[in-house]
Amino acid sequence: MTKEPIRLTKLAKRAGCAAKHPPGFLLPLLGLLPPITDPNVLVGSSTADDAAIYKLSDELALVLTTDFFTPIVDSPRDFGRVAAANALSDVYAMGGKPLSALSIVGFPDSLPATILGEILAGASEIATEAGCPIVGGHTIKSDEPIFGLAVVGTVHPNKVLSNAGAKPGDVLILTKPLGLGIISTAAKNDLDSLGAISEAIDVMTTLNKTAAEVLTRFEVHALTDVTGFGLLGHLRNITAASAVTAEVWVDAVPVLAAAREYVAASIVPGGTRANLKFLNDWVDWGADVSLENQLLLCDAQTSGGLLAAVPAAQSRDVVQALTAAGTLAASVVGRVLSAGKGRISVVQLSDLPGA
């Protein structure tokens, strides 16, 4: 009798970044932390940024981040690859270069050690591509498989990119399509009738290294990556930290085709619905923006793309450079409107005057 292969996603209640606590749970907790007074902390927790920045000298600062989650795919090697790309992304989102990493592992006694070996091998593959050796780590026993990395990177203190610098008149550029949470949920629940998980894995295992290298050649006012809080959740972090308002054009946002079909069939991760519930207090939805599109814009991504705020005058050159470099998407998806308290409007681009 042939033994059924182990499906990692069946061992986890929630998959990937959709397993994370939503912003409505986390952000109030950050407000309880004592203020950071060390002048060498250039970026801390106060702006809900992607990573911390600690200045070592006038020429060198460290980028510090950690990210881990439960399986989002069934293949152990792919799980390791996705988790590594996702963790490394936080360094790229700060304008930094990954230096080294440590593995974070929770692993059940019920699984063979060879599966963990495959997870580690997949992570090492992606880390090698990033030029970032995995130099150690820590394991615990857990009911569900958990994997991720703690990453240290470097950046020049004067070249740090954070989520706090967006300016009125900037345009918003996204470098990967949305829909990863919806597609991975379909696959986990045996509802991926289109076999879209393969494309989703290709997206999730594509490093944001190239996109970051292109963006850092231009004037970037704010930068973040799009992961568990969804496009609008991470944009909300930009608008709140930058004290601005923004507008997103729903029909300009790149979305994986299968995700549109699945969301119409109500295949949606719980993390995505939690994001939408939180963001309803921050977002003004246009009358013709459907619930399906609202969910797509709030979809909990795993290893999603970079979201950059750049001067409008440079946007064409930035998009052309990103496209020429082979990024998965290089799309202008909205703009920063004015000074404000972080609110976001979502409209159809085709409905705007002059469109």
Whether 273 is covered by a domain: the verdict is yes
Instruction: Confirm whether pTM is higher than 0.75.
Output: yes
Catalytic (active site) residue 17: yes
- The one-character DSSP state at 48 is T
Domain boundary among 132, 159, 186: 159
**Same domain, residue pair 185 and 204:** yes
Whether 2 is covered by a domain: the verdict is no
- The one-character DSSP state at 159 is G
pLDDT of residue 95: 96
Whether 355 is covered by a domain: the verdict is no
Instruction: In whole angstroms, give the CA distance from residue 200 to residue 217.
Output: 28
**Same domain, residue pair 235 and 201:** yes
pLDDT of residue 1: 45
CATH assignment at residue 280: 3.90.650.10
Catalytic residue among 17, 53, 238, 329: 17
* Nearest in space to 225 (alpha carbons), one of 208, 243, 248, 204: 208
**Same domain, residue pair 150 and 182:** no
pLDDT of residue 15: 65
**Same domain, residue pair 343 and 237:** yes
Extended beta strands in 84-215, E state? 97-107, 134-141, 146-155, 170-174
Q: Give the residues across from 232 on adjacent strands.
A: none
CATH assignment at residue 35: 3.30.1330.10
Whether 308 is covered by a domain: the verdict is yes
**Same domain, residue pair 132 and 181:** no
- How many domains are there within the chain? 2
**Same domain, residue pair 12 and 124:** yes
Residue with tokens 């409505």: 24
Whether 178 is covered by a domain: the verdict is yes
Structure token pair of residue 184 = 């991975």
**Same domain, residue pair 190 and 317:** yes
**Same domain, residue pair 226 and 153:** no
pLDDT of residue 302: 95
**Same domain, residue pair 208 and 345:** yes
Whether 165 is covered by a domain: the verdict is no
* Tens-digit pLDDT string for the chain (355 aa): 446 788 899 888 776 656 677 777 777 887 778 888 899 999 988 787 789 999 999 999 999 999 999 999 999 999 999 999 999 999 999 999 999 999 999 999 999 999 999 999 999 999 999 999 999 999 999 999 999 999 999 999 999 999 999 999 999 999 999 999 999 999 999 999 999 999 999 999 999 999 999 999 999 999 999 999 999 999 999 999 999 999 999 999 999 999 999 999 999 999 999 999 999 999 999 999 999 999 999 999 999 999 999 999 999 999 999 999 999 999 999 999 999 999 999 999 877 776 5
Q: How far is CA 166 from CA 171, 312, 317, in A?
A: 9, 12, 18
Domain boundary among 124, 159, 194: 159
Per the structure, the complete domain to which residue 124 belongs is given by 8-159
CA angle, 58 as apex, 54 and 60 as ends, to 5°?
Answer: 50
Whether 24 is covered by a domain: the verdict is yes
The contacts of residue 245 (CB under 8 Å, 6+ apart) are: 239, 336, 337, 338, 339, 340, 341, 342, 343, 344, 345
**Same domain, residue pair 153 and 178:** no
Say if CB 262 and CB 188 are below 8 A apart.
no
**Same domain, residue pair 95 and 72:** yes
Domain boundary among 159, 188, 222: 159
**Same domain, residue pair 300 and 273:** yes
Whether 3 is covered by a domain: the verdict is no
